[in-house]
Structure 1
Amino acid sequence: MIVDKGKFYGCTNYKSEKCSFTLPKRWASKTLGKTAIKALITKGKTNSLKGFKKKNGDTFEAKLKLENNKLSFDFS
């Protein structure tokens, strides 16, 4: 089970030998809501999300995907 751990989402047994899986609450200056986290865990990807920020401050829209417990952007 994935739960809110304050600054990130993690397993109920986070830091135990059984589970070290985590997901950030913020990615590219965007707060990831529970709907996005649920989609990542159950489907491995989200729908397109608005509000990500580049280093220069410009915003962009993208999907997120979770592969091999690594979070990344999906621009397809």
Structure 2
Amino acid sequence: MPMTQTCTSTQNEILRYIYGETSSSENVFIEQSLLNDNELLDYYLDSLELKEDMDKISLSPKENTIQNIMNFSKSYRPVI
């Protein structure tokens, strides 16, 4: 079964750009591409919004999970 390409290399470059992983010369190319390609600009804006939304997510364990780990560590005695 052939693989279906779901993301182009240009889209990958956009994601790298959003995360600040591109060089100065790549930035110039990407910014020029965004000026000339409305679909790519839409992808950039959607991706930027998604990143901003994901940055708002705070992940932390439930309090009872932390308590279970603490209780285990207090009672743990290594076998030597």
Q: Structures share a fold, TM > 0.5?
A: no
Higher fraction of strand: 1
TM range (shorter): under 0.3
Q: TM-score, normalised by structure 2?
A: 0.19
- Bigger relative CO (Cα 8 Å, ≥ 6 apart): 2
Q: TM-score, normalised by structure 1?
A: 0.20
Higher fraction of helix: 2
